[in-house]
Structure 1
Amino acid sequence: MRQNEFQLYIVYMGEKRHDDPSMVTASHRDMLTSVFGSKDEALRSIVYSYKHGFSGFAAMLTESQAETIAKFPEVVTVKPNTYHETHTTRSWDFLGLDHNQPGQQPGLLRKAKYGEDVIVGVIDTGIWPESRSFDDNGYGPVPARWKGKCQTSQDFNATSCNKKIIGARWYGRGISDEVLNRNYKSPRDIEGHGTHVASTIAGREVQGVSYGGLGMGVARGGAPRARLSIYKVCWLGGSCPEAAVLAAIDDAMHDGVDVLSLSIAGAGHEFPGTLHAVQRGISIVFAGGNDGPVPQTVANALSWVTTVAASTIVFPDLDIARKQ
């Protein structure tokens, strides 16, 4: 890249210096104004302002401007925006998380009230709200502590949220028109990954589910009574810009989630916003993925998060010779 070419940089500044989010954003604009020499140019350059859980911003900068900002004493790191990838029956029974069937003994999930009123934020490709897994029939009022919103836009209106999907946001800043025009400009999921993840986490019990008539049974998430807040940051092919991921983490901290799920990974990245979320009592759960730095390793091996990966095969062995 040439010195005078613009690209998206992420400026991380650590803990906030103001409780008022508008003052945090104003400090970001002031810093950019001092670099650009113009308030209008500074406003045009900023893509995201991280102002709720931590301080920082994403902005279109030249390499020399990024180097200048890195010298400010309040700046922790400056780095180019990078892209991360999404990661992808009987799992819950295998883990001992029973569902409510006659004759079953009380288990861990029942003692936890099936995740009743736990708010799970899912940072992914969005959601398909019409899925029966997200029906809110039988749910009580949205928890009073909730401060999030349902961001209405293309093919996603106010009725797309309910007492199950209590919040939804999407992050399209910095995404090319070519990519945006091949997707929903809304929290609606065209890829399917986010819907799959959300239903795996907190999908309600759906009876009579099968795959083409095979394997008839019950579909449910691990915490079927939990509420969901959706943050669409990933686009075509499961590509997730880090600038948008950080914006979603920041918003989720403001909204009041209890748990954050990120089924995404990128080599060598720690998502500093997650540490601030943990400090506020939010549990962070990452996917281990299939792309560790070397064989037999996983991504997202951070000391302050829970990284999930399968290590056991639950299905019985087959002896083809004996037809067993």
Structure 2
Amino acid sequence: MPKRSTSIVYIDTFLMPKAFSGHHYWYLSIIDSFKFTNLESPHTSLSSPLLLYTNDNAYHGFGAVLSLDELETLNKSLGFISACADKPFKLATTYCPEFLSLKASTGLWPASNYGKDIIIGIIDSAIWPEHPSFEDHGRPAGKVSSKWKGKCEGGQQFNSSMCNSKLIGVRYFNAALKRKFRSSIVDSARDTTGHGTYVSSVVAGNFLTWASFDGYAEGTTKGVAPYARISMYKVVWDGGIRCYVVAGMDQAIADGVDVIALPWDTSKQQKSYHWNLS
């Protein structure tokens, strides 16, 4: 039985056959064609090809569970541009406002009203909604922009009612992992590493006037954009997988966020494999 793994596939959508009413159905037919040509017994959770996510905003293409042979076949298919292996990445943390030379009394920071009503899509390890940095009391009143199409996805240890006018949306992406590790993952946007919660507080945490470190260094903490709204996209599962990152970015764009925060360093990551038509 061929070994399969997750890959990110880029497609030239202008070459979609007229028989299909949308890109998703075209991609689905491509994956289904592999199922009919590889009739194996499902002995493992990744025994058959699987379409995970269709992407039409961050890029055109899809994430899928495929074997090397299936990728080689795909390389000869209509519209194929390239594919790369889905690899874990190393999380890093964003710097504080000093890195951006922001000043509290003059300049861009106060001129922007500290990000009032800007929607920031954070692509990370999810969030603890109970954290006081994400409470909505004291923030400037105002309705969420009419362009906002996101939602608060409920799940394990995370009710949709936990969102508010500060944390306006959460989504999580784990299609392949659910298939492989059904009982060992928290199936929701609950943060299990703390990284996404911390980064969210740095990016857009609300004002906290009673903060201290075990009683020392008391003072007020705040994020770079304390009046901004947050929408969290959980893509990090046990180290993180890029397929989910792309899916999260694509959904964030579709939801209508104004800014996307990607707080990690990919400069030293291993190169992915690629297939190109040339």
Q: TM-score range by the shorter chain?
A: 0.7 to 0.9
Q: Deviations over 1:56-105 (max 9, x none)?
A: 112222211110101224111123221112113x9436755344xxxxx4
Give the alignment's TM-score, normalised by structure 1: 0.71
Matching residue of 1:27: 26
**Structure 2 letter corresponding to 1:119:** I
- Using the TM superposition, give the Cα deviation of residue 15 of structure 1 relative to its aligned residue in structure 2, in angstroms: 5.6
SS in 1 for 2:226: coil
SS in 2 for 1:174: helix
- Structure 2: how far apart are the matches of 1:213 and 1:202? 24
Residue 67 of structure 2 is aligned with which of 62, 66, 70?
A: 62
Residue 12 of structure 1 is aligned with which of 10, 14, 33?
A: 10
Contact persistence 2:58–2:246 (CA under 8 A): no
Q: Deviations over 1:248-292 (max 9, x none)?
A: 01101101111111112442569xxxxxxxxxxxxxxxxxxxxxx
- Using the TM superposition, give the Cα deviation of residue 179 of structure 1 relative to its aligned residue in structure 2, in angstroms: 6.1
Matching residue of 1:150: 152
Count of residue pairs the alignment pairs up: 258
- Structure 2: how far apart are the matches of 1:247 and 1:223? 25
- Using the TM superposition, give the Cα deviation of residue 156 of structure 1 relative to its aligned residue in structure 2, in angstroms: 1.1
- Structure 1: how far apart are the matches of 2:35 and 2:185? 34
Q: Deviations over 1:282-307 (max 9, x none)?
A: xxxxxxxxxxxxxxxxxxxxxxxxxx
Percent of aligned positions that are identical: 33
Matching residue of 1:291: none
Contact persistence 2:34–2:49 (CA under 8 A): no
- Structure 2: how far apart are the matches of 1:94 and 1:170? 30
SS in 2 for 1:48: strand
- Using the TM superposition, give the Cα deviation of residue 175 of structure 1 relative to its aligned residue in structure 2, in angstroms: 1.6
Matching residue of 1:204: 206
Contact persistence 1:16–1:51 (CA under 8 A): no
- Using the TM superposition, give the Cα deviation of residue 181 of structure 1 relative to its aligned residue in structure 2, in angstroms: 4.4
Give the alignment's TM-score, normalised by structure 2: 0.82
- Structure scoring higher RCO (CA < 8 A, sep ≥ 6) equals 2
- Using the TM superposition, give the Cα deviation of residue 206 of structure 1 relative to its aligned residue in structure 2, in angstroms: 0.6
- Structure 1: how far apart are the matches of 2:26 and 2:125? 31
- Structure 2: how far apart are the matches of 1:225 and 1:153? 27
- Structure 1: how far apart are the matches of 2:224 and 2:156? 30
- Using the TM superposition, give the Cα deviation of residue 182 of structure 1 relative to its aligned residue in structure 2, in angstroms: 4.8
Contact persistence 1:187–1:232 (CA under 8 A): yes
Gaps of 5+ in 2: 41-47, 273-278
Is residue 2:227 matched to residue 1:225? yes
Could you say what the CA RMSD is over the residues aligned between the two structures, in angstroms? 3.0
SS in 2 for 1:84: coil
Aligned 1:57-96 pairs, distance under 5 A: 57-88=62-93, 91-92=96-97, 95-96=100-101
Contact persistence 1:46–1:59 (CA under 8 A): yes
Aligned 1:178-193 pairs, distance under 5 A: 181-193=183-195
- Using the TM superposition, give the Cα deviation of residue 148 of structure 1 relative to its aligned residue in structure 2, in angstroms: 0.8
Residues 191/177 of structure 1: CA separation in 2 closer, same or farther (3 Å cut): farther
- Structure 1: how far apart are the matches of 2:76 and 2:15? 18
**Structure 2 letter corresponding to 1:254:** A
Residues 15/262 of structure 1: CA separation in 2 closer, same or farther (3 Å cut): farther
Gaps of 5+ in 1: 100-104, 271-324
User: Which 10-residue stretch deviates more, 69-78 or 242-251?
Assistant: 69-78
- Structure 2: how far apart are the matches of 1:254 and 1:68? 31
